[in-house]
Structure 1
Amino acid sequence: MALRLADYLEEQKKRGRKSDVRTFKRIAQAFRPYMGQVILIFLAIILNSILGLVNPLIIRLIFDNAIPQRSTNLLFFCGITLVVMPIFIGFISTGQTYLSTYVGQRVIRDFRNRLYLHLQSMSLRFFTSMKTGEIQSRLANDVGGVQSVVTDTLTRIITSVSVVLSTIFAMFYISWLLSLITLSLLPLSIWITYKVGYTGRNIQKNTQKQLATLTAFMQETLSVSGILLMKIFGRQQLTQERFEDENQKLTDLTVRLQMMMSWFSMLVNIIIALTPALVYLVAGNQIIHDPRHSGISVGDIVAFTALQALLLPAIGQLLNVHVQIYGALALFDRIFEYLDMPIEIIDAPGALKIVPEQIRGSITFRNVYFDYKRNDPYTQMAIFDSVKDKSGIGKDVAGEDVAGEYAQRENNPEYSTLKAISLEIKAGQLVALVGPSGAGKTSLTYLLLRLYDIDRGLLEIDGYDIRSISLESLNNLIGVVTQETYLLHASVKENLLYARPDATEEEMVAAAKAAAIHERITELDNGYDTIVGERGYRLSGGEKQRIAIARVLLKDPRILILDEATSSLDTYSERLIQQSLVPLMNNRTVLAIAHRLSTILSADLILVMKNGEIVERGTHKELLARNGVYTQLYNQQFVSVES
């Protein structure tokens, strides 16, 4: 259902009021598996906070009792205590640091694992709607950005709160007047922190967005394909200028954030410096003018300033943590934004677990409709976020229906990419899909793989609705050689075994021979252990494609999809592969997409597609006799060339 922009922004405004509390709850849930360690950290911090009060009180005892009473024993006891106490505190702090690091790093690990798993489960629509660099930035930069906060912040908060509470209690025990003076400037510090934190969160969010933009740009231009494109068209200077522009934006945001933090630290330090001065002024004035009735001793002042040395940094740390948390919330919001994205393609309740041996391989399309843009949440989200960034949440926005196109598509099947597709493919048949680019041939195979779900109609394998078959089973049933061959930056062997890690050496070699690539592999420097380079760029297009075919043959699927599988092969290699595929047709259904009609002349059934519809179907001879679209395609490739 299409959303109206005004409704979307109003919903975002309502969510914004509760988002911080919800985010904090979700962060707290991430620590739940490590609650035992968190409790130990808490106990260690409490103990350290209590032990930290001992030395200031011992100093008071030295000035008010040991020295005036000339007690050597008491002075010796106080001296030993001042030496021993930091040792105890140091050992406890070391253990606390280990536990804090242990918990923090595992929480970050869990976030990475969850985000990566969630991204793996997203539909192909998500990855075609988002930039690869943007996705990588969320996983690397955003999760990495909260690492220090997750690792240190919990400990720092508990430590600072414990020190503040215990120190204030000890300060009031010594002098209520000096305590009130010490705390008098605290409201000003809190107000400054709130303002800085709110502004810093917005700057941090914009910084991460710009970092994601820069990461996406680098990923796009520094990949093998990007570099090749740049050099072919001589666009190095233009690309460099754009990179410098995006990099400058990131630099400006970073400088702005750092300067804001610097001003904040300066103001907090000024306040912290003023507080002891006020204490010395008030306490010293009372002792000078009324030493007998002031109720304040020299030992009180020394102990009090020692306590201030504990309290004020702890308060400053709490204020800094508050600012850092606001900045981290922007990163957590971006992480949770991805984690909250719905997974479109999922197993139905009670999905069938089917092994390939149970399937013969018949395929049936019954009045199937499909459109890429219908119910596309990612495209809508991009539109909404773009308008939101320009207008701002909470501002009045015209009630224009920015999703009108999607609403129109929702109610009108004629906008579909695929329209009224009905066909039956028998088990073991070789069926070819032909037609001009953009006719919907690849889209039809995507539906069979459940990379997308159909909008209307029914798609079956051996009478089973494919939506009732588990995704794992469906993946095991179908093998694909895609139009764009993708190889990992690994050895030939690793690329082949990617399809079936438990395959034997003999099975791997047999698959390579069937794809007419074994001899070429043995000619490489390290044979099957040769590294193919990123995306296989150390190999020719034909070699890559034959390895991709061997990889699918090793998988031995019941249904085989060849999407322009021989488009990069020379005539000799193409003939070898066609010959090797003949015995493999037994007990296997093959769906082949081809622009080169010479590769599918012997197909059992040829489907001619145009504008998302099947306009003709039949064998090569039958279609030529009709003198229709297929005949035109045939004449374009053969007759025009011969003339």
Structure 2
Amino acid sequence: MPRLEHRKPTPAEKQQAREVSLRRVGGLFRAHTRPLTVVVLIIVASSIIGMASPFLLRAVIDDALPHADLSLLVWLVAGMVAVAAVTAALGVVQTWISTRVGQEVMHRLRTDVFTHLQRQSIGFFTRTRTGEVQSRITNDIGGMESVVTSTATSIAANLTTAIATLVAMAALSWQLSLVSLAVLPPAIWFSRRVARLRREITAQRQRELADLNVTIEEGLSISGVQLSKTLGTAPALISRFTASSARLIDLELRSELAGRWRMASMSIVFAAIPAVIYLAAGMPFAQLSIGTLVAFTALQAGLFRPLIGLLNVGVQLTTSLALFARIFEYLDLPIEVQEPARPVVLENPQGNLRFENVTFAYAGSNAAAVAGVSLDVPAGTSLALVGETGSGKSTIAALIVRLYDPTAGRVTIDGVDLRDLSLADLSSIVGVVSQETYLLHTTVRENLRYARPDATDAQIEAAARAAQIHEVIAALPDGYDTTVGSRGHRFSGGEKQRIAIARTLLRDPRILVLDEATSALDNETERAVQRAFDELSRGRTTVTIAHRLSTVRAADQIVVVDHGRVLEAGTHDALVGAGGRYAALAA
């Protein structure tokens, strides 16, 4: 098939792949030293026991059969059967232990990556494609499964078998042993060349798989399908997916065939070695019995299997370093929002919120999104942030829930810096209802219980009633057990907002952040949601990002934000009377 174009790896990707060390890969198994030691002992025992078979065979040919010694023959044959049975039993135990260790390493790797990504800031997920993240966890970790579960034991088994076989061969004839090993240097050289080639191809393949995952995630999500149907872009998406899949075919073929002719040539050479052995045995200087020659050729055939196995493992391990590079790249990502080493615990939070000369700039931006902001929101009062789009209102809200940390200054609750509170405690103190409500693809009940796993059905229903959504849920075919659909698309915008309000009510936060939560609603729906907000805000410190000024007239404080700075602050009447920016917005 014709060669297809591939995305070239960036210099950073090449450097990352080179820097993965086998020591770090081996560190994944450090916690499993004891079972791996048992596996190695089993392998050694199995290899030593297995080496008895060629000597038993020589005794059968040279002693038992020529002398018609039936008793000796029975014992020798029984010994051969016993050797096979013991090595088979040991192999089963070895496979069980090594597979279990490998799966535990895979489990830890998956959970470590998932946990580390959960700790990343919103900025990371803004910069990174969702399909790329999914591909690292599924395709990359899945691709290294065979290496993780079998490589260590395969190396130990093949190496031990090869050493034991070499010792046995030397005991039978050291001259023929030298003839057998003449093929090793070129075999090692060929294997290293193949390994480097496959490693490069594997890195390209995983990047292509990530691109394919991105296409699937963007094209088959409910939002993506709606977009493609309304814009008529389905044919373009299909072409994009088809081209990516075709490139994968080419990469898979190149990966499988890389160096295959070289290795096939080596197999031919390996197969020709017995003929050379027989030729050497026929020379006048050779003093070998038939039994010794048969036993030696059996050992020689048994030697090449572990040697080829070791060479193949080397190829697989070098190839898999491209996968480890991509996983370690994620594990090495710095945590931008760190958990405090010694978190402060607020036993009875009141909800007094303060911004003390806070400045924040997004990564890669020269301009500050928030510049020198100072705010004081006493417990139980309400603050409204108003301003034009891009003025910094949502960034201020993001700092309250610690999606980002300030570049300078600090944000406090009851006098405690947010950076001194554990993230779990902070999320229990601060609740958020945003314009874009995210609902899981499960039942209404489980979507509500997601905020508070121990909530009873009665508490869930009470929260829904307070949020003015109980009647809507009760009218559904299965009530609270109705599946909401992907991202809650079976509900209207106002209904999703009220479900989000009920979910927040279950958590009972002391501080509430409402981020333009009614901006996309019609007037009637907005009034219904506003009634739910009034119930939600009662007795809580509330920060509202306002799109419509009519929703914040009664706020205790109204702050006008422009280019990340506070221009004005006061009540509605005071700001209108001042005739400044707020008065212009309210006009």
Question: TM-score normalized by structure 1?
Answer: 0.86
- 1:342 aligns with 334
Instruction: Report whether the alignment pairs 1:626 with 2:557.
Output: no
Write the deviation string for residues 184-228 of structure 1: whole angstroms up to 9, x where unpaired: 010000000111111111111111111112112211111111111
Write the deviation string for residues 503-560 of structure 1: whole angstroms up to 9, x where unpaired: 2333222211121101101001111111101111121111111100111111110000
| Residues 583/220 of structure 1: CA separation in 2 closer, same or farther (3 Å cut) | closer
Instruction: Report whether the alignment pairs 1:211 with 2:209.
Output: yes
- 1:564 aligns with 516
Partner SS, residue 403 of structure 2: coil
Q: Which of 61, 64, 80 matches 1:63?
A: 61
Kept after mapping to 1: 8 A contact 2:180/2:273: yes
Write the deviation string for residues 44-79 of structure 1: whole angstroms up to 9, x where unpaired: 111111122122111111222222333222222222
1:3-402 to 2 correspondence within 5 Å?
Answer: 19-20=19-20, 23-260=21-258, 262-284=260-282, 286=283, 290=284, 294-355=286-347, 358-374=348-364
Kept after mapping to 2: 8 A contact 1:168/1:179: yes
1:243-642 to 2 correspondence within 5 Å?
Answer: 243-260=241-258, 262-284=260-282, 286=283, 290=284, 294-355=286-347, 358-374=348-364, 409=366, 415-582=367-534, 584-635=536-587
Partner SS, residue 499 of structure 1: coil
Kept after mapping to 2: 8 A contact 1:514/1:581: no
Letter in 1 for 2:374: S
Partner SS, residue 350 of structure 1: coil
Could you tell me how far apart the structure 1 residues matched to 2:409 and 2:14 are? 35
Following superposition, the deviation at residue 491 of structure 1 comes to 0.8
Could you tell me how far apart the structure 1 residues matched to 2:92 and 2:329 are? 36
Could you tell me how far apart the structure 2 residues matched to 1:613 and 1:109 are? 47
Greater CA deviation, 563-572 or 495-504?
563-572
Could you tell me how far apart the structure 2 residues matched to 1:11 and 1:151 are? 26
Letter in 2 for 1:330: A
Could you tell me how far apart the structure 1 residues matched to 2:329 and 2:74 are? 61
Letter in 2 for 1:367: N
Could you tell me how far apart the structure 1 residues matched to 2:374 and 2:262 are? 68
Following superposition, the deviation at residue 584 of structure 1 comes to 4.8
Residue correspondences, number:
578
Partner SS, residue 383 of structure 2: strand
Could you tell me how far apart the structure 2 residues matched to 1:460 and 1:512 are? 31
Could you tell me how far apart the structure 2 residues matched to 1:327 and 1:569 are? 54
Could you tell me how far apart the structure 2 residues matched to 1:624 and 1:587 are? 27
Following superposition, the deviation at residue 583 of structure 1 comes to 5.3
Could you tell me how far apart the structure 1 residues matched to 2:574 and 2:12 are? 60
Letter in 2 for 1:316: I
- 1:395 aligns with none
| Residues 544/216 of structure 1: CA separation in 2 closer, same or farther (3 Å cut) | same
Following superposition, the deviation at residue 134 of structure 1 comes to 0.7
Could you tell me how far apart the structure 1 residues matched to 2:134 and 2:43 are? 37
Following superposition, the deviation at residue 588 of structure 1 comes to 0.9
Could you tell me how far apart the structure 1 residues matched to 2:226 and 2:578 are? 45
Question: TM-score normalized by structure 2?
Answer: 0.94
Greater CA deviation, 261-270 or 359-368?
261-270
Write the deviation string for residues 373-407 of structure 1: whole angstroms up to 9, x where unpaired: 25xxxxxxxxxxxxxxxxxxxxxxxxxxxxxxx6x
Kept after mapping to 2: 8 A contact 1:489/1:532: yes
Could you tell me how far apart the structure 1 residues matched to 2:213 and 2:473 are? 36
Letter in 2 for 1:370: F
Following superposition, the deviation at residue 261 of structure 1 comes to 5.0
Kept after mapping to 2: 8 A contact 1:604/1:619: yes
Higher relative contact order (CA 8 A, sep 6+): 1
Could you tell me how far apart the structure 2 residues matched to 1:583 and 1:9 are? 55
Following superposition, the deviation at residue 28 of structure 1 comes to 2.3
Following superposition, the deviation at residue 161 of structure 1 comes to 0.4
Kept after mapping to 1: 8 A contact 2:17/2:325: no
Could you tell me how far apart the structure 2 residues matched to 1:598 and 1:487 are? 28
Partner SS, residue 587 of structure 1: coil
Kept after mapping to 1: 8 A contact 2:99/2:150: yes
Following superposition, the deviation at residue 341 of structure 1 comes to 1.1
| Residues 207/581 of structure 1: CA separation in 2 closer, same or farther (3 Å cut) | closer
Write the deviation string for residues 407-448 of structure 1: whole angstroms up to 9, x where unpaired: xx3xxxxx1111121221122112111222211111101111
Could you tell me how far apart the structure 2 residues matched to 1:480 and 1:582 are? 15
Letter in 2 for 1:342: P
Could you tell me how far apart the structure 1 residues matched to 2:477 and 2:447 are? 17
Kept after mapping to 1: 8 A contact 2:440/2:488: yes
Following superposition, the deviation at residue 473 of structure 1 comes to 1.5
Identity of aligned residues (%): 43
Could you tell me how far apart the structure 1 residues matched to 2:201 and 2:36 are? 31
Partner SS, residue 441 of structure 2: coil
Could you tell me how far apart the structure 2 residues matched to 1:94 and 1:585 are? 64
| Residues 585/536 of structure 1: CA separation in 2 closer, same or farther (3 Å cut) | closer
Could you tell me how far apart the structure 2 residues matched to 1:214 and 1:631 are? 52
- 1:394 aligns with none
Letter in 2 for 1:169: V
Kept after mapping to 2: 8 A contact 1:514/1:577: no
RMSD between superposed Cα atoms in Å: 2.0
Following superposition, the deviation at residue 35 of structure 1 comes to 2.1
Following superposition, the deviation at residue 143 of structure 1 comes to 0.9
Following superposition, the deviation at residue 277 of structure 1 comes to 2.0
Partner SS, residue 258 of structure 2: helix
Could you tell me how far apart the structure 1 residues matched to 2:173 and 2:535 are? 96
Could you tell me how far apart the structure 1 residues matched to 2:76 and 2:294 are? 15
Kept after mapping to 1: 8 A contact 2:393/2:561: yes
Kept after mapping to 2: 8 A contact 1:372/1:417: yes
| Residues 239/586 of structure 1: CA separation in 2 closer, same or farther (3 Å cut) | closer
